[in-house]
Structure 1
């Protein structure tokens, strides 16, 4: 958190959880160019202020005590960079905060807890056929939803898409209005059995501790959101609420393994019914939410998303006895390539079209930013320096400014005294907002080609030398790359609806652009709307340990998520896009 705190109490100030809750080379082929587009996208880092604010908000500039770009270089033309116009608070119809009632608090926790206790894990090797018995746990989860939300299932139409994909339609009174789509996924990241003893509480216990934390896999990613959507709707149905505009609830079941069975089918089903640009708004999960920095509360709304590509590199060499090794084994050559890849990370991008600059301008306009940092933000010729300093702060910041890669899987060798004959590796790329997958592949090939040549190895690029069996390095993608997402506008009626709702639920928050460095099911929904948002309607300090040991959510974050969806549905009444 920032060293400086707001002068007035905001919606993010800690609140105790309710008492009732607490009680409980030779080859030279070129890769075939994928169908890629140069999408000049931008990202606003959802955590840049959280990290950098530790340094900046305490009165020190981003570059330390001195830097070449002083604040005197700042351009005064406000058109150079601009914070989005803040939407007016929108408050239509009723309001419901489950935290205000002991009965509602207990019910909200119970609904979330029982959902978390159903281990809907999706593993990388899950079959493509959703009728396979390994997917049966999702039938159990659906049964739980049906029993827990009877009004939701009585009044909404349910379609099963590819067996476990759930598409609920709440028909609006005005069929001429485009629908909105609320997304969530039913699956969770598997628990690594070797980490079980590292969990404070069992990972599927949904234990509620005395401080209000609910522990368990899926609490943050993303059963809280799914249960909140249904809880808000169940409440509205109990009040005989009838929406003007149709609302779709689209729940995939394999998001954690890239979503082809779930969201891939759901999106096409919706597209056939409503057509291109057939939805006015799509809302999904995000690491982007609400937090404090620069003495201000910011609500970061994800408008962009990085691309994704996984590359497999395989090395085949003759085996033999380890007592007579060649100068470099297959594993040794793999190590050379890994080093070369990590020494060529690609460029940093910070440009005028990047919402990061707009976010920083918002921080300068609404927060407490020192004048030297303001100078960097408002001086385009200083942006390369600013990008370098942001990246140097932390790898989390760097991820928002360039393509990242992580060598995640390596296999090779079967015996201590036998030379490895085959080595494989998987590298996970998150493609930067200003790059394409082809840019990344070109950089990768440029890094490893000299090694292949020096080792007298054939470089087989995407099958260019498929007939070569030995002394070969093969490069291929695991599945078709996904490019960075199109940029959602940060102005207009849809932005005003989202921002106005956020400002009602989180009074005093400044709504700013942000982006996702991870990957969501929205990749399949691009054709359905220009307005795709990724947002967690909760303080990010209350959502901890995504995808790892001791994942947990504060119960107050679950309450605010329920309240947000209740208000957003109300705010759709009378709204025109």
Structure 2
């Protein structure tokens, strides 16, 4: 099918319109997103609310499709409106033009992560309403801000509001991961995110001397220990092919600062590490190990955790979870290959799970180059439309639990 034929498809038009809204960090103005979603809700003849759970510039938009038994716990279909920054010079298409080529590839930031999912929900609901379907459970289609910067003013704040509590949520579906194969990755848990900041103090002086207990020597000791631990996780992955990146702990040095000029030994070095901890890791023992390494280095190292998320229990994928059984039944009926994994990053699902509510991340994007946060992010039009059909099967299955 040529690009011209894809362009005439109503669902593709809606998707591309959403992609053209530059809801890109930093300092996003969500006004255009809210207006777009309001128009979509009107076209579906569904009510829409806009809530500001934390900051006036950070809206949560909620479309409601009331169920025939509204007192039952509801279903959330969640997506986020924000996208990560772009480097336009690295793109072959303007990042917010939503250009479509002769192969049907739609190029735009957010094509995979995750504006596609938000409008696919709506496309599926459009088909279901046209078929006369009435959900038993109330469905909420939520569009949240700031997921890409931690969700603190988005879903994290929203789940604490009275509005959310009145929604009586029983289950949430959210983003999964793009797959380069025909296997769909399904997230039932997420690693625990910690940010470690070390302020390493030491002897200062002239750069020509061999001074004792310098910040550089102390930092080198701790860095080596963390690197050895990192290497142990690499070996775990190599030795057990059943594991994925979400099953191990990652440690990466992301920021390093200190010093004034080349011939002055600095009194202080600061380092920041991004850590994504396995849900099987003993968190108390791991923190104790870090503190012990800092003492072994010679002391004088201040340890801070600018971010230190707590353990959140995984969503159960067994007979005790009727929502999982319903989702699995729909996926099996569609004949889809599915691999449940621990999400290697973090999504808004963790805030839902913290409330004791099961949540699963799922994406219908398969057989596609994984370009999440990358240059020339794209999604094929046929893949997008197929995703609508997938959600058309999943949504009724969940709504009828």
Structure 1 position 227 matched with structure 2 position 119: yes
Shift of 1:111: 2.1
User: Is residue 2:314 matched to residue 1:486?
Assistant: yes
Equivalence map 1:300-339=2 (5 Å): 300-317=185-202, 319-323=204-208, 326=211, 329-339=214-224
The residue that corresponds to 2:52 in the other structure is: 161
Q: For 1:425-440, what aligned pairs fall within 5 Å after superposition?
A: 425-440=271-286
Structure 1 pair 443–215 and aligned structure 2 pair: CA distance change class (3 A): farther
Query: Of residues 329, 334, 342 in structure 1, which corresponds to 2:227?
Result: 342
Q: Deviations over 1:296-337 (max 9, x none)?
A: xx4442222211111111123465554557367534543332
Q: Does 1:570 align with 2:399?
A: no
Could you list the per-position Cα deviations for residues 384-415 of structure 1 after superposition, in whole angstroms to 9, with x for gaps in the alignment? xxx96743589x95623321111112222343
How far does the alpha carbon of each residue in 1:451-506 deviate from its partner, in whole angstroms, 9 at most, with x for none? 1x2xxxx3xxxxxxxxxxxxx3111100332324423223353223212222344x
- Displacement of 1:347 after TM fit? 6.6
CA shift for structure 1 position 116:
2.1
Post-superposition Cα deviations, 1:241-292, rounded to whole Å, max 9, x if no partner, equal 4322101122221111111110012222355325xxx433211112276844
Larger-Rg structure: 1
Q: Give the equivalent residue in structure 2 for 1:443.
A: 289
Please tell me whether residue 495 in structure 1 is matched to residue 324 in structure 2. yes
Aligned counterparts of 1:543 and 1:170: Cα–Cα separation in 2? 34
TM-score (norm 1): 0.62
> Any idea what the Cα deviations from partners look like across 1:40-90, whole Å, max 9, x if unmatched?
xxxxxxxxxxxxxxxxxxxxxxxxxxxxxxxxxxxxxxxxxxxxxxxxxxx
Whether 2:359 is the aligned partner of 1:532: answer yes
Q: What TM-score does the superposition give when structure 2 sets the normalisation length?
A: 0.86
Query: Gapped runs of 5+ residues in structure 2?
Result: none
Q: 1:335 to 1:107 in 2, by over 3 A?
A: farther
Structure 1 position 391 matched with structure 2 position 238: yes
CA drift of 1:542 comes to 1.5
Aligned to 1:91: none
Query: Partner of 2:251: helix, strand, or coil?
Result: strand
Offset, 1:181: 0.9
Corresponding residue for residue 188 of structure 1: 83
**For the residues of structure 1 that align with 2:25 and 2:289, how far apart are their CA atoms?**
32
Partner of 1:548 in structure 2? 374
How many Å separate the matches in 2 of 1:340 and 1:271? 44
Q: Say which structure is richer in strand.
A: 2
Q: Which has the higher contact order (CA 8 A, sep 6+)?
A: 1
2:297 equivalent to 1:405: no
Aligned residues between the structures: 395
Does the C-alpha gap of structure 1 residues 203 and 166 become closer, same or farther in structure 2, counting only changes over 3 Å? same
SS at 2:331 equivalent = helix
Q: Which residue of 2 aligns with 1:260?
A: 152
Match runs of 1:144-159 below 5 Å: 144-152=36-44, 154-159=45-50
Contact 1:149 1:234 (C-alpha < 8 Å) held by counterparts: no
